[in-house]
């Protein structure tokens, strides 16, 4: 009898062990929406469906995934994490202090990350971002540095791990902060990497190509993509880089691919709600590419969508006011409208306030009574104050400036976005990260592993277990 029980137990455990190794998650996608809390997702879903006087919610692809849970993300030094500490936890399974990339809080230990482990186990690895590829989140999936600000050192470390495909943004300081260091692109080339930085070069990349750094030819000089809301039709998107990445690294042994939607966070830091929505949509488009792959190999593919932290302490609804349909009237990023104003100041320094109001109406809808966006005296005073500051050099802040969540009146662009967000019921309590746990959306092989509330240090452990590494 006892012998039988032992025998049954052995058979039982062997069965579990067998099934884990034989049916592992061979193709794993980790999508990180930087700064993407639940409110960022839900605001985008309201935006998609918004019609005046209609309350209806539509789901993004990620929200339709069968597993919906949450993840804590505090760092070793604060309940409010930064991207590098969160991404270090998600790539290595260890907490570190805010500011550190891939190393222990005392900076003495360099942790091995999931990319290194996956490479050792024979998987191919892809790392993608819509911001600089040496920025905090992507960097934490390959580098080990005392500070996230050590962009040059990070970019010099990038080619050391034989990662198969880097896609998206460029290097932030390829020749160091002062521009007097050996070129980090050349360093990568010396270590066997190919830089593809034209549309043609990127299009020509093919399955089996190794050691690729594919860089968006149409980006800001500092190395990040243009805002999705401003992006030209023909420009390469995060979805295009994801699709190309899948084509390049697809192989029989499997792969691990991390894709960051980096500018969701940037839009939230600037409290630019509409640009945030377009960044979430661009991120969702990238997820669609992975989902197409998943549909062909559902038994071997796992897609995880999550965030490092929430940014902006965003909430939907202000005293029951929610008018997401107003957000559709903003057709330019705050940054690009700012640029327009700077250019205008150069060409027409005497431009009138009325002309500015016309431009604000064209790009933000503000002042258009027909769509419910008329400006009251207080809002006009705010815009006038920003105009005086920007065009008349008047540093005196209008008395109404405390209407803004941040103390001083800023640019016309920021003021317009602030007013539009308020009218839409989009409320920002901060221009920085918040400490709320982040959403987790999962579909595919081993999805149930993520169904309970867990910590970000458990994320790589769960993935590695499912990949059998
Ligand atoms: Zn941030």
Please give the average per-residue pLDDT across 185-189, as a whole number.
Answer: 98
Ligand 1 center from residue 20 Cα (angstroms): 37
CA of 5 to the centre of ligand 1 (A): 55
Residue 112 lies in a domain: yes
Question: Which residues are found with C-beta within 5 Å of the ion, ligand 1?
Answer: 265
- Provide the H-helix boundaries in 35-142: 38-49, 83-92, 114-120, 136-139
- Identify the pLDDT of residue 392: 86
- Residue 344 Cα, ligand 1 centroid: separation in angstroms? 30
Mean pLDDT of the 189-216 span: 97
* Ligand 1 midpoint to CA 306 (Å): 15
pLDDT category at 390 given cuts 50, 70, 90 is: confident
Question: How many A from CA of 266 to the centre of ligand 1?
Answer: 6
CA of 268 to the centre of ligand 1 (A): 8
| 206 shares its domain with 244 | yes
The Å distance, Cα 431 to ligand 1 centre, comes to 9
Asked if residue 233 belongs to a domain, the reply is yes
Q: How far is the CA of 179 from the centre of ligand 1 (A)?
A: 25
Q: Are residues 407 and 423 in the same domain?
A: yes
Q: Note whether residue 20 is domain-resident.
A: no
The CA 81 to ligand 1 mean position distance, Å, reads 9
DSSP string, 143-191: --BS-TT-HHHHHHHGGGG--SEEEE---SSTT-TTS-S--HHHHHHHT
- Residue 125 in any domain: the answer is yes
Q: Is the pLDDT at 15 greater than 60, yes or no?
A: no
Asked whether 267 and 276 are in contact (CB, 8 A), the reply is yes
Q: Are 70 and 455 in contact (CB under 8 A)?
A: no
Helix or strand or coil: residue 441?
Answer: strand
Rounded to the nearest whole angstrom, what is the distance from the C-alpha of residue 433 to the centroid of ligand 1? 6
Cα 282 to ligand 1 centre (Å): 18
Per the domain annotation, does 8 fall within a domain? no
- Kindly give the distance from the C-alpha atom of residue 284 to the centroid of ligand 1, in angstroms, as a whole number: 19
CA of 83 to the centre of ligand 1 (A): 6
Structure tokens belonging to residue 85: 């500490």
Phi then psi for residue 320, to 5 deg, are: 70, 5
pLDDT at 407: 46
* Cα 432 to middle of ligand 1, angstroms: 7
Residue 57 confidence (pLDDT) = 74
Q: Compute, in angstroms, the gap from residue 34 CA to the centroid of ligand 1.
A: 7
What pLDDT is stored for residue 393 in this prediction? 79
252-262: average pLDDT:
98
Q: Mean pLDDT across the stretch 243-270?
A: 97
CA of 437 to the centre of ligand 1 (A): 15
Same structural domain for residues 309 and 322?
A: no
Tell me the average pLDDT across 37-41: 97
Q: Please check whether residues 237 and 334 belong to one and the same domain.
A: no
31-35, 98-102, 200-204, 317-321: segment of lowest average pLDDT: 317-321
Rounded to the nearest whole angstrom, what is the distance from the C-alpha of residue 35 to the centroid of ligand 1? 6
**Residue 12 — very low, low, confident or very high, per pLDDT cuts 50/70/90?**
very low
Same domain, 40 and 139: yes
Rounded mean pLDDT of 214-223? 94
Q: Is the dihedral of CA 216, 330, 404, 386 positive or negative?
A: positive
Q: Do 308 and 324 belong to one domain? A: no
Distance (angstroms) between ligand 1 centre and the Cα of 183 equals 27
In the predicted model, is pLDDT for residue 447 greater than 90? yes
Give the distance (Å) from ligand 1 centre to CA of residue 258. 18
* Ligand 1 center to 314 CA (angstroms): 13
| CATH classification at residue 159 | 3.40.720.10
**pLDDT category of residue 217 using cuts at 50, 70 and 90:** very high
Q: What is the pLDDT of residues 273-332, one digit of tens each?
A: 999 999 999 999 999 999 999 999 999 999 999 999 999 999 998 888 899 999 999 999
Element housing 362 (H / E): helix 353-364
15 Cα: distance to centroid of ligand 1 (angstroms): 45
Q: Look at residue 400 and tell me whether its pLDDT is greater than 80.
A: no
Q: For a pLDDT cut of 90, what percent of the chain falls above it?
A: 85
Q: Is residue 404 scored above 70 in pLDDT? A: no
Q: Are residues 265 and 153 in the same domain?
A: yes
Q: How far is the CA of 195 from the centre of ligand 1 (A)?
A: 28
Distance CA 177, CA 171 (A): 11
Does residue 75 sit within a domain?
Answer: yes
Say if 13 falls within a structural domain. Answer: no
pLDDT at 80: 97
Mapped onto helix, strand or coil, the DSSP state of residue 136 is helix
Whether residue 405 sits in one domain with residue 388: yes
Sorting pLDDT into bands at 50, 70 and 90, what band is 167? very high
Q: What three-state secondary structure class fits 457?
A: coil
pLDDT for 389: 87
Residues 350 and 450 in one domain: no
Q: Structural domain of residue 139, as residue ranges?
A: 27-314+442-467
Does residue 18 lie within any of the structural domains? no
Please tell me the distance from the alpha carbon of residue 90 to that of residue 84, in angstroms, as a whole number: 10
Task: Say how many Å lie between the CA of residue 176 and the centre of ligand 1.
Answer: 22
* Contact status, residue 122 vs residue 99, Cβ threshold 8 Å: no
How far apart are the CA of 288 and the centre of ligand 1, in A? Answer: 24
Domain count, the chain: 2
Residues 6+ apart with CB under 8 A from 441: 62, 63, 65, 67, 68, 304, 305, 306
Are 300 and 385 within one domain? no
48 and 172 inside one domain: yes
Mean of per-residue pLDDT scores for the chain: 92
Query: What is the 76 CA–ligand 1 centroid distance (Å)?
Result: 17
Centre of ligand 1 to C-alpha 44, Å, is: 19
Q: How far is the CA of 14 from the centre of ligand 1 (A)?
A: 46
Predicted local confidence at residue 51, as pLDDT: 81
The per-residue pLDDT for 54 is 81
Residues 448 and 366 in one domain: no
Condensed to tens digits (0 to 9), the pLDDT of residues 408-433 reads 557 899 999 999 999 999 999 999 99
pLDDT tens digits for 44-94?
A: 999 998 888 788 878 999 999 999 999 999 999 999 999 999 999 999 999
User: How far, in Å, CA of 61 to CA of 290, rounded?
Assistant: 11
The tens digit of pLDDT for each residue in 145-166 reads 999 999 999 999 999 999 999 9
User: pLDDT category, 22, cuts 50, 70, 90?
Assistant: low
Given this model, what pLDDT does residue 243 score? 98
Residues of the chain with pLDDT > 70: what percent?
92
């Amino acid at each position: 009898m006892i012998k039988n029980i032992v025998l049954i137990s052995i058979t039982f455990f062997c069965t579990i062990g067998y099934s884990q190794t034989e049916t592992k998650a061979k193709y794993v996608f980790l999508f990180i929406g930087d700064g993407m809390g639940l409110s960022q997702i839900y605001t985008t879903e309201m935006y998609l469906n918004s019609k005046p006087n209609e309350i209806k919610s539509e789901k993004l692809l990620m929200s339709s995934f069968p597993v919906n849970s949450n993840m804590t993300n505090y760092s070793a030094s604060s309940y409010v994490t930064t991207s590098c500490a969160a991404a270090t936890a998600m790539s290595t399974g260890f907490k570190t202090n805010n500011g550190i990339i891939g190393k222990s809080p005392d900076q003495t230990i360099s942790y091995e990350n999931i990319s290194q482990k996956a490479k050792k186990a024979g998987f191919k690895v892809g790392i993608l971002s819509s911001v600089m590829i040496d920025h905090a989140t992507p960097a934490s999936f390959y580098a080990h540095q005392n500070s996230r600000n050590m962009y040059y050192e990070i970019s010099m470390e990038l080619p050391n791990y034989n990662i198969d495909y880097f896609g998206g943004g460029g290097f932030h300081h390829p020749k160091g902060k002062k521009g007097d260091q050996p070129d980090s692109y050349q360093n990568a080339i010396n270590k066997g990497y190919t830089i593809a930085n034209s549309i043609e070069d990127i299009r020509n990349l093919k399955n089996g190509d190794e050691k690729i750094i594919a860089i968006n030819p149409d980006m800001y000089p500092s190395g990040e993509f243009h805002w999705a809301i401003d992006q030209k039709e023909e420009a390469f998107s995060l979805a295009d880089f994801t699709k190309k990445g899948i084509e390049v690294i697809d192989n029989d042994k499997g792969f691990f691919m991390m894709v960051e939607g980096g500018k969701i966070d940037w839009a939230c830091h600037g409290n630019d709600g509409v640009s945030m929505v377009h960044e979430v949509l661009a991120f969702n488009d990238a997820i669609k590419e992975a989902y197409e792959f998943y549909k062909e190999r559902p038994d071997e593919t796992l897609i995880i969508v999550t965030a490092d932290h929430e940014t902006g302490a965003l909430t939907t609804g202000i005293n029951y006011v929610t008018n997401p349909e107003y957000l559709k009237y903003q057709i330019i990023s705050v940054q690009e409208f700012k640029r327009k104003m700077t250019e205008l100041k150069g060409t027409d320094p005497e431009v009138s306030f009325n002309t500015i109001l016309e431009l604000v109406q064209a790009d933000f809808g503000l002042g258009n009574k027909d769509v419910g966006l008329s400006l009251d005296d207080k809002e006009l005073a705010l815009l006038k104050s920003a105009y005086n500051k920007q065009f008349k050099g008047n540093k005196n802040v209008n008395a109404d400036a405390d209407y803004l969540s941040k103390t001083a009146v800023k640019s016309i662009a920021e003021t317009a976005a602030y007013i539009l967000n308020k009218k839409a019921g989009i409320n920002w309590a901060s221009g920085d990260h918040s400490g709320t746990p982040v959403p987790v959306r999962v579909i595919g092989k081993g999805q149930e592993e993520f169904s309970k509330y867990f910590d970000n240090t458990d994320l790589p452990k769960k993935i590695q277990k499912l990949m059998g590494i």
